[in-house]
Amino acid sequence: MSDTAHILKKHHLRQTNCRQQMIAHFSAHSYALAHSELEQALSEFDRVTIYRTLYTFLEKGIVHKVLDDAGATRYALCAHCTEHQHHDEHVHFKCMQCQTVQCIDTISIPNIQLPQGYSYIDSNFLVRGVCRQCNQL
């Protein structure tokens, strides 16, 4: 079984062409992908199918949202999330040269203690700089 098929099986999802291709596309990139990039890469599918697939992946814990400093939303594969239980408290890194945003799984965000009366939903920790690839050019 391919990695792609394995991810779908682990999350109890049917193997559809669009789902398989979307996961393969995420796996092939080390950085987070915008909705428009997915639409371009999966142009054989209509927009609604792509939107639904992405939404299912968010729900099931296969991908998580990555926000950048411009407020744009991108998506990246989760490492070990399950349905309704995302654990993506890691740092995101935005390269100011190639403009990509990557997950840095090795740095986790500490538990955030909010003042009384505030409730927590999620957090977004973005580090900006120059990525390894751009530094080597």
Contact residues for Zn ion (CB under 5 A)? Answer: 64, 76, 78, 81, 86, 88, 95, 97-98, 103, 131, 134
For residue 61, the minimal CB distance to Zn ion (Å) is 5
Residue 71 token pair: 């407020």
For residue 81, the minimal CB distance to Zn ion (Å) is 3
**Toward Zn ion, which CB reaches closer, 5 or 126?**
126
Tally the residues of the chain: 137
For residue 46, the minimal CB distance to Zn ion (Å) is 26
For residue 28, the minimal CB distance to Zn ion (Å) is 16
**Toward Zn ion, which CB reaches closer, 19 or 64?**
64
For residue 14, the minimal CB distance to Zn ion (Å) is 20
**Toward Zn ion, which CB reaches closer, 11 or 21?**
11
Report the distance separating Cα 33 and Cα 24, nearest Å: 12
> Which segments of the chain are extended strands (E)?
33-34, 63-67, 73-77, 90-95, 101-108, 126-129
Exposure string for 60-88, b = 16+ CB within 10 A, e = fewer = bbbbbebbbeeeeebbbbbeebeeeebeb
Cα-based distances in Å from 116 to 95, 98, 119: 36, 41, 8
